[in-house]
Chain A
Amino acid sequence: DALLGCHRSYRSRPTHGIGKFKYLLPQEVPKKRKEKVQMKEISAGTEYQYGDVNIQMTSYDLCLVEHFAQYVHRLCNRLSIRVNESYAMPTKTNEVLFLEERGSKMQLDAVLTTHQRVVQIRGLSSTFAPILLEILQSNQPEGVHLLVKQHTEADFKSRLKSRPELEELLAQMS
């Protein structure tokens, strides 16, 4: 009985690995760990190519700005321009108050939300840049404000939450 209960199979024999079954089970996805938000390297670009360029679209109308951002992303894909990221900036809410004709009280007129979408591209050649700007301008929808500029660290920092305690302590230290 002791001889029959032994599970050892020699590596040279054809019975090697006879009891294995884990390769038949479906692959388990490894647990996703929360990725730390780190700033990606900002490329400066060569003499004939621009580095990281941000195309920022701002508007009061959410659907319009979303669709325009999607259009710009697909356009860059079609023109084989590398798109690093395509994200949304936090929305800003503005309360518009106006002074009544008779009286000194401020009357609430409207609550406006400003939405902003950013498409970040890399490796735009210097000869193609004016053409791209022409296309963007001709397809710009009403009320959407377009801004094209180089990507900086300050732009990235504006997306992160502010940490007043850390800043206070750092100010105290120095």
Chain B
Amino acid sequence: PCRAQPKKKKKVDVKKEQAQKERMKKRIKKLEKAAPELIPIEDFITPLKYSESNRVRSLPALSPEESERRVLLLKKWCLFKQKQDEAEKKAIKALVESQQEALKELRLESEELYQAAIRRDEGLFPFERDGPSYTPPLPGYDPPEGKCVDITKVYTQ
């Protein structure tokens, strides 16, 4: 049905919507201006209770034989660790050298195989490995029922 005066609702709606959109855009611009922050890491913040206490540990005095024994033990340990480290470095060098030699021989054999071997391996990543455990899991162990609840603090900007 036609009306004498057409409804003015449409124009006002469009204007209101435009104004709303502009307001939202302004708000988004304001929020985007602030740079994103990194989540603070709780490991690096010492809790206050460790800095407030006045307890001081008093250690007993060491006898000269005991300190002598400790110094000699330290020296032996240093030597042992040095030998271990050098052996490791030697092993790495040997690995690299043998790899290079093998690649040289392969190159002499066929150029194609050499090029294919040099290429990077896409299946290598992601690489996952669990560390060794002190005690392997028991075969017939029946653990009690329970659940794990994640209570990490969620930081919002």
Name A residues whose Cβ lies closer than 8 Å to a Cβ of B.
36-38, 45, 47-50, 53, 59, 62, 79, 88-99, 101, 106, 109, 111, 115, 126-131, 133-135, 137, 140-150, 159-166, 169-170, 172-173
Contacts and interface: CB of A to CB of B under 8 A. Distances in A.
B157 A47 contact: no
A163 B157 contact: yes
B131 interface: yes
Contact of A95 (B127, B133, B148): B148
B39 A166 contact: no
Nearest to B133: A142
Interface string B17-28: 000010011011
B11 interface: no
Nearest to A139: B88
A147 B37 contact: no
Interface in B92-120: 92, 95-96, 99, 103, 118-120
B94 to A, nearest CB: 11
B38 A169 contact: no
Contacts, number: 155
Given A93-B153, A99-B146, 19 more contacts: A36-B35, A93-B152, A94-B149, A98-B144, A101-B144, A111-B151, A128-B96, A131-B92, A134-B95, A143-B133, A146-B127, A148-B125, A149-B125, A149-B126, A161-B36, A163-B31, A169-B27, A173-B24, A173-B25
Interface residues of B, number: 52
Given A161-B155, A163-B156, A169 B146 contact: no
B147 interface: yes
Contact of B95 (A131, A144, A162, A165): A131
A50 B120 contact: yes
Task: Classify the interface of chain A: helix, strand, loop or mixed.
Answer: mixed
B128 A98 contact: no
B130 A145 contact: yes
Nearest to B118: A48
Given A95-B148, A149-B126, A160 B96 contact: no
B119 A126 contact: yes
B71 to A, nearest CB: 24
Interface stretch (B40-48, B57-65, B74-82): B40-48
B43 A165 contact: no
Given A159-B39, A166-B31, A94 B148 contact: yes
Contact of B37 (A93, A131, A160, A164): A160
